[in-house]
Structure 1
């Protein structure tokens, strides 16, 4: 019997928007990175049980993406991918379910499947809490051929992941594709359009997870242009970079051991961005050292410092096909009929044909929040607050966007060549 196919799609979006400076009292709010085993002011929440495993998976996936595309910009939403794969595991048989959850980094002797799903359920609730200061929305939906019967596991996606299930006539695959693309476009406020291209008559199910985020800087930047400012041993092209400048206090550190600058800038209400600027030629060393322990170390050592800060303004987007990368990370069965998604579809012999992840990110002079970061052991003992330290992000750097209350890494990337808009 010829296999039928299932699409698993992850759509991750970061959109930073124009804003005005926020009231001064908000600048004093402290936001820090915490992981599962750290002591902090907030009582431990169900979603914190999966934070360390999700972070480890994110860093593993980042390293695989850098191996696949070493000289290109990278930006993705690890939490969107983790959620989509965990949701997919609900429709599989026991052996493949175990493979998926262990591939995500969970030790099933320490945390049972039910606790993992409950933790994701609480994470979605936590991330979707409404805020007047920023927009953060994460959601999922499943699209099935209307000829398939409703099964219990379809309802589980609603229970655990707030996922909506739609049924369409898949024989009219042009119309179905158009409706799915329109729904994704609406849910991502127009940032992702015509995402699903290769949908065809062999498809019986489409599973989608999406994330949308936009926020404001506390301290807006000033904008300027500079020619040949961004240079890199990986990319020798002449670039006319669109730059941003501000003089402000941020948490900051120069890590002597890893030869990199670490800078933390806060978005309002529990979201921060961590920027890591390796010394020339030290990018690989820093990437190889990325692990939860490194993030914890940096978080403890970051100190407020007055900075004269120059950052590139950038706008990048990308689509990642994960069918080759995920099997190298332990997900060997999901692209074969062994995945057996009959718990979702009621049909045997299905295979996941594609796992797509699309992301867009914009960072400009009027969007995002400021703070400061520091790492291992090399910051000035006492900075003269009248003479700020000048920091230029004039070579490739890493960025992590973190939701603190949920202890979740929302976005992770490397900027080699910013595309000025």
Structure 2
């Protein structure tokens, strides 16, 4: 997801040696120089924020450090230049520090994510934070008059009720023996939500484990255009995850260990990544989508090793599905998630 990439893009500017290589490789930026990487982050940020005047897309980056922590000016300067990072020194021992950081996150996500940071540990010295906010209306809005209460068949909680929306339009779609997919465009069609429904024999968990970047590109390249009906439940999805284990499995283990080298952040002592917190909010209704994401990288000091005939298709999303919100031209993935049970609150 984009938010995680931007947070680690900033961290990359402080990493050295094998730690730098590990972060760069997980971000799939091999073969690019550091300047090319920074320029690509800056260019993409400007592109996404200016791309569609019918879509609100905002991205913000910040650096927070304890006021006793001797952070290198060069690290601050490069992240200000390429990531437009806001920089603040705080007394991390002050109980108000958590509220100040959470206040920044709440402001940048239009109050959709209010309390992402639960505490500041005594040995924490720095936080790198990315926040993204997205609000867009469907190109083909769902008529509220056609929204009805329908069954949704969960994998482990039986049959539940949902608010099922309906629309019929000319859309990009794909069907094969493994899954069905449809793309719903926003605004001027630069931003889209692609919804993927695995076949009835495949669980959403099993599908996600096999659906990789190559599968995603293959899907996009093989979609057809046709007139179809989409039945999609309204939902609000809120998710929070500590990403340490996932990132370590992907090859970033050294950054979380006593061997981490972030000597381009601080020279006086060694630091490592202690937590990566990722939180998202996605609301989908008849008018469109509102979404937010936040990623926080926490650093600590190292103290020890550590169908009907007239339609081409019909897709009814009445069982767990996967969604991806993305930008068409750059193929940038903004948000993604699975809906095992579509929950809605007025």
Normalised to the residue count of structure 2, the TM-score between the two structures is 0.86
Tell me how far 1:342 sits from its aligned partner.
Answer: 3.8
Secondary structure of 2:92's counterpart equals coil
Report if aligned partners of 1:126, 1:406 keep a CA contact under 8 Å in 2: no
1:83 aligns with 2:2: no
Aligned length: 324
Higher strand share: 2
Report if aligned partners of 2:92, 2:120 keep a CA contact under 8 Å in 1: no
Report if aligned partners of 1:127, 1:406 keep a CA contact under 8 Å in 2: no
Matches within 5 A, 1:22-421: 78-107=1-30, 110-129=31-50, 131-149=52-70, 150-172=72-94, 174-223=95-144, 224-227=147-150, 229-232=151-154, 234-256=155-177, 259-269=178-188, 270-283=190-203, 286-367=207-288, 385=310, 387=311, 389-421=313-345
Report if aligned partners of 2:17, 2:261 keep a CA contact under 8 Å in 1: no
Tell me how far 1:210 sits from its aligned partner.
Answer: 1.0
Tell me, in whole angstroms, the C-alpha distance in 2 between the residues paired with 1:144 and 1:295: 38
Unaligned runs of 5+ in 1: 1-77, 369-379
Q: Any idea what the Cα deviations from partners look like across 1:254-281, whole Å, max 9, x if unmatched? A: 123xx21111111123101111111102
- Going from structure 1 to structure 2, the CA distance change for 1:308 and 1:405 (only over 3 Å counts) comes to closer
Secondary structure of 2:36's counterpart equals helix
Tell me, in whole angstroms, the C-alpha distance in 1 between the residues paired with 2:4 and 2:181: 26
Tell me how far 1:282 sits from its aligned partner.
Answer: 2.3
Tell me how far 1:121 sits from its aligned partner.
Answer: 1.8
Secondary structure of 2:21's counterpart equals helix
Report if aligned partners of 2:19, 2:262 keep a CA contact under 8 Å in 1: no
Tell me, in whole angstroms, the C-alpha distance in 2 between the residues paired with 1:255 and 1:96: 41
Tell me how far 1:218 sits from its aligned partner.
Answer: 1.7
Report if aligned partners of 1:335, 1:353 keep a CA contact under 8 Å in 2: yes
Secondary structure of 1:191's counterpart equals coil
Report if aligned partners of 1:144, 1:205 keep a CA contact under 8 Å in 2: yes
RMSD: 2.3
Tell me, in whole angstroms, the C-alpha distance in 2 between the residues paired with 1:180 and 1:285: 37
Secondary structure of 1:343's counterpart equals coil
- The structure whose RCO (Cα within 8 Å, separation 6+) is larger is 1
Tell me how far 1:327 sits from its aligned partner.
Answer: 0.9
Report if aligned partners of 2:3, 2:130 keep a CA contact under 8 Å in 1: yes
Unaligned runs of 5+ in 2: 290-306
Q: Any idea what the Cα deviations from partners look like across 1:140-174, whole Å, max 9, x if unmatched? A: 100112233452111111122111111112232x1
Q: Give 1:376's aligned residue.
A: none
Q: Give 2:300's aligned residue.
A: none
- Going from structure 1 to structure 2, the CA distance change for 1:146 and 1:82 (only over 3 Å counts) comes to same
Tell me, in whole angstroms, the C-alpha distance in 1 between the residues paired with 2:23 and 2:186: 33
Tell me how far 1:132 sits from its aligned partner.
Answer: 3.0
